[in-house]
Amino acid sequence: MFNEIDFTKIDLTGQPPADETKRQYYFMGKIRELLARESAVLGRPVTYCLQTFGCQMNEKQSEVVAGIMDEMGFDRKESEDADIVIYNTCTVRENANLKVYGRLGKLHNLKKHNPDMKIILFGCMMQEPHVVDKIRNDYPFVDLVFGTHNIFRFAELFYEMKNRDSQLVEIWEGTEQIVEELPTERNYSFKSGVNIMFGCNNFCSYCIVPYVRGRERSREPEAIVNEVKSLVADGVTEVMLLGQNVNSYGKTLEHPVTFAQLLQMVEAVPGLHRIRFMTSHPKDLSDELIEYMGKSKKVCHHLHLPMQSGSSRILKLMNRRYDKEKYLELVQKIRGAVPDISLTTDIIVGFPGETEEDFLETLDVVDKSNFDTAFTFIYSKRSGTPAAKMEDQVPEDVVKDRFDRLLSLVQEKGRMVSSRFQGTVQEVLVETESKEKGIFTGRTQYNLLVHFPGTSDMLGKYIQVRLDTCKGFYYLGTAVTEQE
Ligand code: 5AD
Ligand code: SF4
Protein backbone atom coordinates (compact mmCIF):
# COMPACT_ATOMS: atom_id res chain seq x y z
CA MET A 1 0.00 0.00 0.00
CA PHE A 2 2.33 2.81 1.12
CA ASN A 3 5.22 0.83 -0.32
CA GLU A 4 4.68 1.75 -3.94
CA ILE A 5 7.07 4.63 -4.31
CA ASP A 6 8.19 5.49 -7.81
CA PHE A 7 11.73 6.71 -7.23
CA THR A 8 12.13 7.72 -10.86
CA LYS A 9 9.67 10.54 -10.14
CA ILE A 10 11.79 11.97 -7.29
CA ASP A 11 14.40 14.56 -8.31
CA LEU A 12 17.48 13.57 -6.31
CA THR A 13 19.71 16.26 -7.79
CA GLY A 14 17.96 19.25 -6.17
CA GLN A 15 17.37 20.29 -2.56
CA PRO A 16 15.28 18.07 -0.26
CA PRO A 17 11.58 19.00 -0.42
CA ALA A 18 9.95 20.84 2.52
CA ASP A 19 6.95 18.53 2.85
CA GLU A 20 8.00 16.01 5.50
CA THR A 21 6.82 12.80 3.80
CA LYS A 22 8.29 13.82 0.42
CA ARG A 23 11.49 14.85 2.14
CA GLN A 24 11.90 11.40 3.66
CA TYR A 25 11.23 9.75 0.28
CA TYR A 26 13.96 11.98 -1.18
CA PHE A 27 16.46 10.66 1.39
CA MET A 28 15.31 7.08 0.78
CA GLY A 29 16.12 7.67 -2.89
CA LYS A 30 19.56 9.07 -2.02
CA ILE A 31 20.35 5.99 0.08
CA ARG A 32 19.15 3.65 -2.67
CA GLU A 33 21.82 5.21 -4.90
CA LEU A 34 24.52 4.81 -2.26
CA LEU A 35 23.43 1.27 -1.51
CA ALA A 36 23.50 0.16 -5.16
CA ARG A 37 27.17 1.16 -5.29
CA GLU A 38 28.00 -0.47 -1.94
CA SER A 39 26.26 -3.66 -2.86
CA ALA A 40 28.11 -3.82 -6.21
CA VAL A 41 31.46 -3.47 -4.40
CA LEU A 42 30.55 -6.16 -1.86
CA GLY A 43 29.06 -8.43 -4.51
CA ARG A 44 26.09 -9.21 -2.25
CA PRO A 45 23.06 -7.47 -0.73
CA VAL A 46 23.64 -5.25 2.31
CA THR A 47 21.80 -6.75 5.29
CA TYR A 48 20.08 -5.44 8.42
CA CYS A 49 18.74 -6.95 11.61
CA LEU A 50 15.97 -5.14 13.47
CA GLN A 51 14.94 -6.18 16.98
CA THR A 52 12.11 -4.76 18.99
CA PHE A 53 11.85 -4.64 22.76
CA GLY A 54 8.66 -3.72 24.61
CA CYS A 55 5.07 -3.09 23.69
CA GLN A 56 2.87 -3.16 20.61
CA MET A 57 3.42 0.54 19.96
CA ASN A 58 7.10 -0.29 19.54
CA GLU A 59 6.22 -3.21 17.26
CA LYS A 60 4.20 -0.85 15.14
CA GLN A 61 6.97 1.73 14.94
CA SER A 62 9.46 -0.99 14.03
CA GLU A 63 7.24 -1.89 11.09
CA VAL A 64 7.77 1.65 9.78
CA VAL A 65 11.55 1.45 10.24
CA ALA A 66 11.56 -1.97 8.49
CA GLY A 67 9.40 -0.50 5.71
CA ILE A 68 11.90 2.32 5.19
CA MET A 69 14.91 -0.05 5.28
CA ASP A 70 13.26 -2.35 2.72
CA GLU A 71 12.33 0.63 0.55
CA MET A 72 15.95 1.77 0.63
CA GLY A 73 16.98 -1.67 -0.65
CA PHE A 74 18.41 -3.45 2.41
CA ASP A 75 17.85 -7.18 2.98
CA ARG A 76 16.49 -8.16 6.36
CA LYS A 77 17.96 -11.05 8.32
CA GLU A 78 17.16 -12.47 11.76
CA SER A 79 20.66 -12.75 13.23
CA GLU A 80 22.81 -9.90 14.46
CA ASP A 81 25.79 -10.69 12.18
CA ALA A 82 24.30 -8.18 9.74
CA ASP A 83 25.77 -5.03 8.19
CA ILE A 84 23.34 -2.90 10.16
CA VAL A 85 21.86 -3.76 13.55
CA ILE A 86 18.91 -1.71 14.81
CA TYR A 87 17.33 -1.95 18.27
CA ASN A 88 13.97 -0.39 19.06
CA THR A 89 14.31 -0.03 22.82
CA CYS A 90 11.94 -0.03 25.80
CA THR A 91 12.46 1.46 29.24
CA VAL A 92 9.27 0.66 31.10
CA ARG A 93 11.20 -1.56 33.52
CA GLU A 94 14.91 -1.64 34.35
CA ASN A 95 15.24 -5.17 32.92
CA ALA A 96 14.51 -3.88 29.43
CA ASN A 97 17.44 -1.44 29.71
CA LEU A 98 19.82 -4.07 31.05
CA LYS A 99 19.03 -6.32 28.10
CA VAL A 100 20.06 -3.60 25.63
CA TYR A 101 23.35 -2.89 27.42
CA GLY A 102 24.09 -6.64 27.45
CA ARG A 103 23.43 -6.90 23.72
CA LEU A 104 25.61 -3.86 22.98
CA GLY A 105 28.60 -5.63 24.55
CA LYS A 106 28.12 -8.51 22.11
CA LEU A 107 27.64 -6.17 19.16
CA HIS A 108 30.93 -4.46 19.96
CA ASN A 109 32.72 -7.79 19.36
CA LEU A 110 30.92 -8.29 16.05
CA LYS A 111 31.85 -4.78 14.99
CA LYS A 112 35.53 -5.46 15.65
CA HIS A 113 35.34 -8.10 12.93
CA ASN A 114 33.27 -5.93 10.61
CA PRO A 115 34.30 -2.27 11.11
CA ASP A 116 31.80 -1.11 8.47
CA MET A 117 28.95 -2.43 10.57
CA LYS A 118 26.47 0.24 11.71
CA ILE A 119 24.64 0.11 15.05
CA ILE A 120 21.45 2.11 15.50
CA LEU A 121 19.42 2.59 18.69
CA PHE A 122 16.04 4.28 18.95
CA GLY A 123 12.81 4.26 20.95
CA CYS A 124 11.79 4.95 24.54
CA MET A 125 15.06 4.23 26.33
CA MET A 126 16.82 6.85 24.21
CA GLN A 127 14.47 9.56 25.51
CA GLU A 128 16.20 9.36 28.89
CA PRO A 129 19.13 11.80 29.14
CA HIS A 130 21.17 9.53 31.45
CA VAL A 131 20.93 6.73 28.88
CA VAL A 132 22.16 8.95 26.06
CA ASP A 133 25.07 10.13 28.24
CA LYS A 134 26.00 6.53 28.90
CA ILE A 135 25.82 5.63 25.19
CA ARG A 136 28.01 8.64 24.36
CA ASN A 137 30.61 7.79 26.99
CA ASP A 138 30.63 4.00 27.22
CA TYR A 139 29.38 2.91 23.79
CA PRO A 140 30.98 5.30 21.27
CA PHE A 141 30.84 2.54 18.63
CA VAL A 142 27.05 3.09 18.34
CA ASP A 143 26.52 5.07 15.12
CA LEU A 144 23.04 6.56 15.39
CA VAL A 145 20.73 7.33 18.30
CA PHE A 146 17.25 8.79 18.02
CA GLY A 147 14.12 8.72 20.14
CA THR A 148 10.36 8.25 19.90
CA HIS A 149 9.33 11.63 18.46
CA ASN A 150 11.51 11.76 15.35
CA ILE A 151 11.18 8.22 13.98
CA PHE A 152 9.63 9.65 10.82
CA ARG A 153 13.02 11.28 10.13
CA PHE A 154 14.76 7.89 10.03
CA ALA A 155 15.74 8.01 6.33
CA GLU A 156 17.27 11.48 6.68
CA LEU A 157 19.13 10.55 9.87
CA PHE A 158 20.39 7.39 8.21
CA TYR A 159 21.72 9.46 5.31
CA GLU A 160 23.48 11.83 7.71
CA MET A 161 24.97 8.90 9.60
CA LYS A 162 26.39 7.50 6.34
CA ASN A 163 28.13 10.80 5.67
CA ARG A 164 30.03 11.12 8.93
CA ASP A 165 32.44 9.14 11.09
CA SER A 166 31.28 10.09 14.57
CA GLN A 167 28.19 9.10 16.56
CA LEU A 168 25.01 10.95 15.53
CA VAL A 169 22.47 11.67 18.29
CA GLU A 170 19.14 13.38 17.64
CA ILE A 171 16.63 13.37 20.48
CA TRP A 172 13.55 15.56 20.51
CA GLU A 173 11.82 16.53 23.75
CA GLY A 174 8.41 16.23 22.13
CA THR A 175 6.48 16.93 18.97
CA GLU A 176 3.08 17.94 17.75
CA GLN A 177 3.84 16.38 14.37
CA ILE A 178 2.14 13.19 13.20
CA VAL A 179 3.64 12.23 9.85
CA GLU A 180 1.37 10.00 7.77
CA GLU A 181 2.05 7.73 4.79
CA LEU A 182 5.49 6.33 5.48
CA PRO A 183 6.36 2.88 4.11
CA THR A 184 5.47 -0.02 6.40
CA GLU A 185 6.58 -3.63 6.37
CA ARG A 186 3.95 -5.48 8.37
CA ASN A 187 4.77 -8.51 10.52
CA TYR A 188 1.51 -10.18 9.43
CA SER A 189 -0.33 -9.76 6.15
CA PHE A 190 -3.78 -10.25 7.69
CA LYS A 191 -3.64 -8.30 10.97
CA SER A 192 -2.16 -4.98 11.93
CA GLY A 193 -1.84 -2.44 14.72
CA VAL A 194 -3.13 1.06 14.00
CA ASN A 195 -2.00 3.96 16.14
CA ILE A 196 -4.91 6.11 17.17
CA MET A 197 -2.99 8.27 19.62
CA PHE A 198 0.48 8.85 20.94
CA GLY A 199 1.79 9.73 24.39
CA CYS A 200 0.15 9.74 27.80
CA ASN A 201 -1.05 12.44 30.20
CA ASN A 202 -1.78 10.31 33.22
CA PHE A 203 1.49 10.36 35.10
CA CYS A 204 0.90 7.23 37.13
CA SER A 205 3.58 7.73 39.77
CA TYR A 206 5.66 4.63 38.86
CA CYS A 207 5.56 5.08 35.10
CA ILE A 208 8.22 6.49 32.80
CA VAL A 209 5.98 6.46 29.70
CA PRO A 210 4.69 10.06 29.93
CA TYR A 211 8.31 11.28 30.13
CA VAL A 212 9.54 9.32 27.12
CA ARG A 213 6.46 9.35 24.91
CA GLY A 214 5.35 12.90 25.61
CA ARG A 215 1.89 14.40 25.86
CA GLU A 216 -1.23 12.74 24.54
CA ARG A 217 -2.03 13.46 20.87
CA SER A 218 -4.88 11.85 18.96
CA ARG A 219 -4.86 11.23 15.24
CA GLU A 220 -7.77 12.57 13.22
CA PRO A 221 -10.51 9.93 12.86
CA GLU A 222 -10.47 10.30 9.06
CA ALA A 223 -6.74 9.47 8.96
CA ILE A 224 -7.35 6.39 11.11
CA VAL A 225 -10.30 5.21 9.00
CA ASN A 226 -8.31 5.78 5.80
CA GLU A 227 -5.43 3.74 7.17
CA VAL A 228 -7.83 0.94 8.10
CA LYS A 229 -9.36 1.07 4.61
CA SER A 230 -5.97 0.75 2.93
CA LEU A 231 -5.00 -2.07 5.28
CA VAL A 232 -8.21 -3.92 4.42
CA ALA A 233 -7.58 -3.36 0.71
CA ASP A 234 -4.18 -4.94 1.34
CA GLY A 235 -5.61 -8.09 2.94
CA VAL A 236 -5.94 -7.14 6.62
CA THR A 237 -9.08 -8.36 8.41
CA GLU A 238 -8.15 -7.69 12.04
CA VAL A 239 -6.94 -4.38 13.45
CA MET A 240 -5.68 -3.50 16.91
CA LEU A 241 -6.25 0.16 17.73
CA LEU A 242 -3.26 1.29 19.76
CA GLY A 243 -2.78 3.97 22.38
CA GLN A 244 -1.53 4.27 25.97
CA ASN A 245 -5.02 5.23 27.08
CA VAL A 246 -7.49 4.67 24.26
CA ASN A 247 -10.47 5.63 26.39
CA SER A 248 -9.40 9.25 26.35
CA TYR A 249 -9.08 9.23 22.55
CA GLY A 250 -10.24 12.32 20.70
CA LYS A 251 -10.74 14.67 23.65
CA THR A 252 -8.21 17.20 22.40
CA LEU A 253 -9.15 17.13 18.70
CA GLU A 254 -10.53 20.32 17.17
CA HIS A 255 -13.79 18.43 16.68
CA PRO A 256 -13.79 16.03 19.65
CA VAL A 257 -14.75 12.41 18.99
CA THR A 258 -15.18 9.72 21.65
CA PHE A 259 -13.47 6.37 21.45
CA ALA A 260 -16.83 4.61 21.05
CA GLN A 261 -17.63 6.90 18.10
CA LEU A 262 -14.26 6.08 16.56
CA LEU A 263 -14.97 2.36 16.95
CA GLN A 264 -18.25 2.87 15.13
CA MET A 265 -16.45 4.59 12.22
CA VAL A 266 -13.85 1.83 12.03
CA GLU A 267 -16.54 -0.84 12.24
CA ALA A 268 -18.19 0.66 9.14
CA VAL A 269 -15.18 -0.24 6.98
CA PRO A 270 -16.37 -3.10 4.73
CA GLY A 271 -14.20 -6.21 4.72
CA LEU A 272 -12.90 -5.66 8.24
CA HIS A 273 -13.76 -8.63 10.45
CA ARG A 274 -12.31 -7.99 13.91
CA ILE A 275 -11.42 -4.94 15.95
CA ARG A 276 -9.26 -5.03 19.07
CA PHE A 277 -7.89 -2.17 21.15
CA MET A 278 -5.25 -1.59 23.79
CA THR A 279 -4.87 -0.16 26.46
CA SER A 280 -7.86 0.95 28.50
CA HIS A 281 -7.53 2.97 31.69
CA PRO A 282 -10.25 2.15 34.26
CA LYS A 283 -10.73 5.82 35.15
CA ASP A 284 -11.77 6.66 31.57
CA LEU A 285 -13.73 3.55 30.61
CA SER A 286 -17.11 4.97 29.62
CA ASP A 287 -20.60 3.47 29.75
CA GLU A 288 -20.86 4.41 26.07
CA LEU A 289 -17.90 2.12 25.26
CA ILE A 290 -19.18 -0.74 27.40
CA GLU A 291 -22.56 -0.51 25.71
CA TYR A 292 -20.96 -0.37 22.28
CA MET A 293 -18.86 -3.46 22.95
CA GLY A 294 -22.05 -5.33 23.82
CA LYS A 295 -23.78 -4.56 20.53
CA SER A 296 -20.88 -4.36 18.07
CA LYS A 297 -20.48 -7.14 15.50
CA LYS A 298 -16.75 -6.62 15.02
CA VAL A 299 -15.26 -5.51 18.35
CA CYS A 300 -13.77 -8.59 20.02
CA HIS A 301 -15.08 -9.49 23.44
CA HIS A 302 -11.73 -8.99 25.09
CA LEU A 303 -10.82 -6.10 27.35
CA HIS A 304 -7.39 -5.44 28.79
CA LEU A 305 -8.04 -3.35 31.89
CA PRO A 306 -4.88 -2.82 33.95
CA MET A 307 -5.71 -2.70 37.68
CA GLN A 308 -2.06 -2.36 38.90
CA SER A 309 -3.08 -2.89 42.54
CA GLY A 310 -6.15 -3.96 44.50
CA SER A 311 -5.42 -1.66 47.41
CA SER A 312 -7.18 1.72 47.33
CA ARG A 313 -4.37 3.21 49.40
CA ILE A 314 -1.70 2.06 46.93
CA LEU A 315 -3.85 3.06 43.93
CA LYS A 316 -3.94 6.58 45.38
CA LEU A 317 -0.16 6.61 45.77
CA MET A 318 0.08 5.33 42.20
CA ASN A 319 -2.07 8.27 41.06
CA ARG A 320 -4.45 5.92 39.26
CA ARG A 321 -7.58 7.93 40.15
CA TYR A 322 -9.88 4.96 40.91
CA ASP A 323 -10.14 2.72 43.95
CA LYS A 324 -10.72 -0.95 44.62
CA GLU A 325 -14.51 -0.58 44.73
CA LYS A 326 -14.65 1.41 41.50
CA TYR A 327 -12.56 -1.23 39.75
CA LEU A 328 -14.74 -4.09 40.96
CA GLU A 329 -17.85 -2.12 39.98
CA LEU A 330 -16.47 -1.67 36.47
CA VAL A 331 -15.77 -5.38 36.17
CA GLN A 332 -19.35 -6.12 37.17
CA LYS A 333 -20.74 -3.54 34.78
CA ILE A 334 -18.75 -4.97 31.86
CA ARG A 335 -19.80 -8.51 32.64
CA GLY A 336 -23.43 -7.32 32.81
CA ALA A 337 -23.25 -5.75 29.34
CA VAL A 338 -20.95 -8.31 27.70
CA PRO A 339 -21.44 -11.59 29.59
CA ASP A 340 -18.87 -13.58 27.58
CA ILE A 341 -16.14 -10.92 27.91
CA SER A 342 -12.57 -12.05 28.42
CA LEU A 343 -10.86 -9.77 30.90
CA THR A 344 -7.11 -9.39 31.25
CA THR A 345 -5.07 -7.09 33.44
CA ASP A 346 -1.65 -5.82 34.56
CA ILE A 347 -0.58 -5.95 38.20
CA ILE A 348 2.47 -4.46 39.89
CA VAL A 349 3.83 -6.06 43.06
CA GLY A 350 6.06 -4.26 45.55
CA PHE A 351 5.14 -0.63 44.89
CA PRO A 352 6.82 1.52 47.59
CA GLY A 353 5.01 1.22 50.91
CA GLU A 354 2.97 -1.84 49.88
CA THR A 355 2.12 -3.77 53.07
CA GLU A 356 0.93 -7.34 53.43
CA GLU A 357 -2.62 -5.96 53.89
CA ASP A 358 -2.35 -4.00 50.64
CA PHE A 359 -1.11 -7.10 48.88
CA LEU A 360 -4.01 -9.17 50.25
CA GLU A 361 -6.38 -6.60 48.68
CA THR A 362 -4.72 -7.29 45.33
CA LEU A 363 -5.22 -11.03 45.80
CA ASP A 364 -8.85 -10.31 46.72
CA VAL A 365 -9.51 -8.40 43.47
CA VAL A 366 -7.83 -11.17 41.46
CA ASP A 367 -10.02 -13.68 43.21
CA LYS A 368 -13.21 -11.72 42.55
CA SER A 369 -12.53 -10.52 38.99
CA ASN A 370 -12.00 -13.83 37.18
CA PHE A 371 -9.34 -12.57 34.79
CA ASP A 372 -8.50 -14.81 31.84
CA THR A 373 -4.88 -13.70 32.17
CA ALA A 374 -3.01 -11.24 34.35
CA PHE A 375 0.43 -9.88 33.49
CA THR A 376 2.33 -9.55 36.73
CA PHE A 377 5.32 -7.26 37.22
CA ILE A 378 7.73 -6.61 40.01
CA TYR A 379 7.85 -2.87 40.68
CA SER A 380 10.85 -1.33 38.97
CA LYS A 381 12.19 2.02 40.12
CA ARG A 382 12.36 4.46 37.20
CA SER A 383 14.42 7.54 37.86
CA GLY A 384 12.56 10.79 37.33
CA THR A 385 9.19 9.36 38.36
CA PRO A 386 7.54 10.44 41.66
CA ALA A 387 7.56 6.86 43.01
CA ALA A 388 11.35 6.68 42.70
CA LYS A 389 11.58 9.26 45.49
CA MET A 390 9.10 7.51 47.77
CA GLU A 391 10.46 6.00 50.94
CA ASP A 392 9.63 2.51 52.07
CA GLN A 393 10.86 0.64 49.02
CA VAL A 394 9.80 -2.96 49.75
CA PRO A 395 12.66 -5.42 50.41
CA GLU A 396 13.47 -7.73 47.51
CA ASP A 397 12.73 -11.02 49.31
CA VAL A 398 9.30 -9.76 50.42
CA VAL A 399 8.46 -8.69 46.87
CA LYS A 400 9.64 -11.99 45.44
CA ASP A 401 7.48 -13.93 47.89
CA ARG A 402 4.41 -11.82 47.04
CA PHE A 403 5.10 -12.13 43.35
CA ASP A 404 5.18 -15.93 43.58
CA ARG A 405 1.95 -16.02 45.58
CA LEU A 406 0.24 -13.71 43.11
CA LEU A 407 1.45 -15.70 40.14
CA SER A 408 0.14 -18.97 41.48
CA LEU A 409 -3.31 -17.45 42.17
CA VAL A 410 -3.37 -15.81 38.72
CA GLN A 411 -2.48 -19.11 37.07
CA GLU A 412 -4.97 -21.12 39.07
CA LYS A 413 -7.77 -18.64 38.32
CA GLY A 414 -6.74 -18.27 34.67
CA ARG A 415 -6.87 -22.03 34.15
CA MET A 416 -10.32 -22.19 35.72
CA VAL A 417 -11.66 -19.21 33.75
CA SER A 418 -10.21 -20.37 30.42
CA SER A 419 -11.72 -23.83 30.87
CA ARG A 420 -15.17 -22.31 30.28
CA PHE A 421 -14.58 -22.81 26.56
CA GLN A 422 -13.85 -26.54 26.90
CA GLY A 423 -15.58 -28.50 24.12
CA THR A 424 -17.01 -25.40 22.37
CA VAL A 425 -16.45 -24.55 18.72
CA GLN A 426 -14.87 -21.12 18.22
CA GLU A 427 -13.92 -19.04 15.24
CA VAL A 428 -10.16 -18.51 15.18
CA LEU A 429 -7.96 -16.38 12.99
CA VAL A 430 -5.08 -18.66 11.96
CA GLU A 431 -1.84 -16.77 12.59
CA THR A 432 1.22 -19.03 12.40
CA GLU A 433 2.47 -22.51 11.74
CA SER A 434 4.42 -23.81 14.72
CA LYS A 435 7.88 -25.35 14.57
CA GLU A 436 6.12 -28.68 14.64
CA LYS A 437 5.05 -28.95 10.98
CA GLY A 438 1.32 -29.22 10.35
CA ILE A 439 0.38 -27.65 13.70
CA PHE A 440 -1.15 -24.19 13.39
CA THR A 441 -1.92 -21.51 15.94
CA GLY A 442 -5.05 -19.42 15.85
CA ARG A 443 -6.60 -16.86 18.16
CA THR A 444 -10.20 -16.65 19.26
CA GLN A 445 -11.92 -13.29 19.65
CA TYR A 446 -11.21 -13.75 23.37
CA ASN A 447 -7.48 -13.59 22.57
CA LEU A 448 -7.13 -17.23 23.55
CA LEU A 449 -4.55 -19.25 21.59
CA VAL A 450 -5.49 -22.61 20.07
CA HIS A 451 -3.05 -25.09 18.51
CA PHE A 452 -4.53 -27.52 16.02
CA PRO A 453 -3.54 -29.71 13.06
CA GLY A 454 -4.15 -27.86 9.80
CA THR A 455 -2.84 -26.90 6.38
CA SER A 456 -0.96 -23.80 5.27
CA ASP A 457 -3.85 -22.52 3.15
CA MET A 458 -5.60 -21.81 6.48
CA LEU A 459 -3.08 -19.07 7.37
CA GLY A 460 -4.78 -15.68 7.63
CA LYS A 461 -8.26 -17.25 7.44
CA TYR A 462 -11.08 -17.61 9.95
CA ILE A 463 -11.61 -21.27 10.77
CA GLN A 464 -14.01 -23.02 13.13
CA VAL A 465 -12.05 -24.97 15.70
CA ARG A 466 -13.28 -27.19 18.51
CA LEU A 467 -11.40 -26.52 21.75
CA ASP A 468 -10.64 -30.02 23.01
CA THR A 469 -8.08 -29.70 25.79
CA CYS A 470 -7.47 -26.69 28.02
CA LYS A 471 -3.78 -26.22 28.83
CA GLY A 472 -4.21 -23.18 31.04
CA PHE A 473 -3.78 -20.14 28.83
CA TYR A 474 -4.05 -22.07 25.55
CA TYR A 475 -6.00 -24.96 24.03
CA LEU A 476 -5.36 -27.95 21.83
CA GLY A 477 -8.13 -28.23 19.26
CA THR A 478 -9.46 -29.70 16.03
CA ALA A 479 -10.51 -27.78 12.92
CA VAL A 480 -14.19 -28.38 12.23
CA THR A 481 -14.99 -26.45 9.05
CA GLU A 482 -13.50 -23.61 7.11
CA GLN A 483 -15.64 -20.50 7.22
CA GLU A 484 -14.16 -17.95 4.84
N1 5AD B 1 7.51 -1.15 37.38
C2 5AD B 1 6.83 -2.28 37.12
N3 5AD B 1 5.86 -2.36 36.20
C4 5AD B 1 5.56 -1.25 35.50
N5 5AD B 1 4.65 -1.03 34.54
C6 5AD B 1 4.76 0.26 34.15
N7 5AD B 1 5.72 0.88 34.84
C8 5AD B 1 6.23 -0.05 35.71
C9 5AD B 1 7.25 -0.01 36.69
N10 5AD B 1 7.93 1.10 36.96
C11 5AD B 1 3.70 -2.03 34.07
C12 5AD B 1 2.26 -1.60 34.31
C13 5AD B 1 1.76 -1.30 32.93
C14 5AD B 1 2.56 -2.28 32.10
C15 5AD B 1 2.63 -1.96 30.66
O16 5AD B 1 3.85 -2.21 32.67
O17 5AD B 1 1.56 -2.68 34.88
O18 5AD B 1 0.37 -1.50 32.80
FE1 SF4 C 1 2.05 4.68 32.25
FE2 SF4 C 1 -0.24 5.16 33.55
FE3 SF4 C 1 0.20 6.26 31.11
FE4 SF4 C 1 -0.22 3.61 31.35
S5 SF4 C 1 -1.70 5.23 31.85
S6 SF4 C 1 1.37 4.64 30.13
S7 SF4 C 1 0.73 3.14 33.32
S8 SF4 C 1 1.33 6.70 32.99
- In DSSP notation, 159-207 reads HHHHT-SS-EEE--S-------------S-SSEEEEE-EE------TT-
Ligand 2 proximity of 207 Cβ (cutoff 6 Å): yes
CA distance 195 to 212: 17
According to the model, what pLDDT value does residue 7 have?
79
Q: Which atom of ligand 1 is nearest to the CA of 279?
A: 18
Q: Which atom of ligand 2 is nearest to the CA of 92?
A: 1
How would you class 144 by CB atoms within 10 Å of its CB: exposed for 0-12, middle for 13-18, buried for 19 or more? buried
Ligand 2 proximity of 91 Cβ (cutoff 6 Å): no
Provide the CA 342 distance to its chain's centre, in angstroms. 20
From the CA of 377, the nearest ligand is 1
According to the model, what pLDDT value does residue 335 have?
97
Q: Which of 209, 242, 382, 385 to mutate to test the pocket of ligand 2 (most atoms within 8 A of CB)?
A: 209
Instruction: List per-block mean pLDDT (blocks of 10 residues) for the chain, which spans 484 residues.
Output: 68 90 94 95 96 94 96 96 97 95 95 94 96 97 96 96 95 82 92 95 96 92 97 97 96 95 98 97 96 97 98 98 98 98 98 98 98 97 96 95 98 96 98 93 97 97 97 94 53
According to the model, what pLDDT value does residue 177 have?
77
According to the model, what pLDDT value does residue 1 have?
42
CA distance 349 to 155: 41
Q: Which of 124, 128, 206 to mutate to test the pocket of ligand 1 (most atoms within 8 A of CB)?
A: 206
Q: Which atom of ligand 1 is nearest to the CA of 306?
A: 18
Question: In 434-473, where do the E strands start and end?
Answer: 439-444, 449-453, 462-470
According to the model, what pLDDT value does residue 483 have?
47
300: annotated binding-site residue?
A: no
According to the model, what pLDDT value does residue 4 have?
63
Ligand 2 proximity of 386 Cβ (cutoff 6 Å): no
207: annotated binding-site residue?
A: yes
Residue 161 CA to ligand 1 centre (angstroms): 34
Residue 109 CA to ligand 2 centre (angstroms): 37
Q: Is the dihedral of CA 247, 314, 324, 349 positive or negative?
A: positive
Closest CA to 341 of 284, 286, 300, 375: 300
Q: Which atom of ligand 1 is nearest to the CA of 378?
A: 2
- Name 302's bridge partners: 342
Neighbours of 94 (CB within 10 A): 13
According to the model, what pLDDT value does residue 13 have?
87
Task: Return the residue whose CA atom lies nearest to atom 17 of ligand 1.
Answer: 346
What phi and psi, each to the nearest 5 degrees, are found at residue 174?
-175, 175
Q: Helix/strand/coil (H, E, C) string of 194-257? A: EECEECCCCCCCCCCHHHHHCCCEECCHHHHHHHHHHHHHCCCCEEEEECCCHHHCCCCCCCCC
Task: Return the residue whose CA atom lies nearest to atom 1 of ligand 2.
Answer: 207
55: annotated binding-site residue?
A: yes
According to the model, what pLDDT value does residue 106 have?
95
Task: Return the residue whose CA atom lies nearest to atom 2 of ligand 2.
Answer: 204
Q: Which atom of ligand 1 is nearest to the CA of 387?
A: 10
